[in-house]
Amino acid sequence: MRLHELWEKNLSARNAWQHLPGTYLSELLASSGVDVVTLDLQHGMINLASAGDSILAIEARGAAPFARVPEVDVAQIGSLLDAGLAGVICATVESRAQAEALVGAIYYPPIGKRSCGPNRALLSFGKDYLDCSQDRLVSFAMIETVAGLEAVDEIAATEYLTGLFIGPGDLGISMGIGPGQDRSEPEFLEAVERVKQAARRHDLRLGIHANTPEYAANMAQQGFDLVTVCADAELVGSGAINAVQRFGQL
């Protein structure tokens, strides 16, 4: 899979964020050249059945299907992975125990506790899926609260966790500097540095959400391995506003 090849070469992967359900939308995003499409099951309008369909569509267009989930729900994560999901980004991880639960939900024994029933994942990854899933499936713990920041070292020390993913909006709110993306407040950049250092110490991948490809590129240059370069709702919304403005007032 392209994602792991990029990471082996220490290149960053480009992520598209999908909030709205639909396989055609998934195909459009995955065909853009991004390496990952993340289905948002926390703040998006995508349910489990729709995510299953989108996983096929994303995979068919050569990108890796990821999902952002609101919490470690073993049943939900298991179903998504059995359908062929390649990576899980779990919101609001604030402790080592939560990070361990995440790893436990994704990987099979003896690493984790995932129940065996890979079904469609065998078609996505091949017959050796059970033996190789620990090398192929990606687990990101989102650091997006002060509590998560305080615990970032113990979270990063979780065995088999792939990486840390910063949620700038929630992190800013939790820090008392308000919501926002693509931020450059000194205290926010300090928090980013703290997450970066923890990831470096424990040899983890680093991800961050961004609202513009320029900010994402800047983060990629600073060593982030997974950066969001676009999101469906913003693309449609800003495209429509742009069209109306260009049409003008008759």
Between CA 227 and CA 64 the distance in angstroms is 14
The closest alpha carbon to 212, from 187, 193, 235, 240, belongs to 235
Binding mask 124-153 for ligand 3PY (x = CB under 6 A): --------------------x---------
Q: Which is nearer to ligand 3PY, 56 or 216 (CB)?
A: 216
- What binding mask, one character per residue, do residues 166-195 give for Mg ion by CB under 5 A, x or -? -x--x-------------------------
Nearest CA-CA partner of 140 in 76, 206, 74, 202: 206
Tokens read off for 170 = 């929630």
Q: For the window 185-224, what string marks contact with ligand 3PY as x by the rule CB under 6 A?
A: ------------------------x---------------
Of 162, 234, 195, nearest to 3 (Cα)? Answer: 162
Q: Could you tell me which residues are beta bridge partners of residue 201? A: none
* Interacting partner of 209 out of Mg ion, ligand 3PY, none (Cβ under 5 to 8 A depending on kind): ligand 3PY
Residue 168: contacted member of ligand 3PY, Mg ion, none (CB under 5 to 8 Å, by partner type): ligand 3PY
Helices H, strands E: what count in the chain? 13, 8
**Active-site residue, 43 included:** yes
Q: Tell me the three state secondary structure of residue 158.
A: coil
Establish if 170 lies at the interface with ligand 3PY (CB under 6 A).
yes
Token code pair at residue 67: 């999902």
CA distances from 204 to 85, 159, 166, 168, 181 (A): 20, 10, 13, 19, 23
Judged by CB under 6 A, the stretch of 27-35, 97-105, 162-170, 212-220 that binds ligand 3PY is: 162-170
For the beta carbon of residue 128, count every other beta carbon within 10 angstroms.
Answer: 10
Q: How far is the CB of 127 from Mg ion (least distance, A)?
A: 37
128-157 positions binding Mg ion, by CB under 5 A: 144
Report strand pairing: 205-208 vs 163-166: parallel
232 binds ligand 3PY (CB under 6 A): no
Q: Which residues are catalytic?
A: 43
Task: Name the residues that contact ligand 3PY, by CB under 6 A.
Answer: 144, 167-170, 209
Footprint on this chain of Mg ion (rule: CB under 5 A): 144, 167, 170
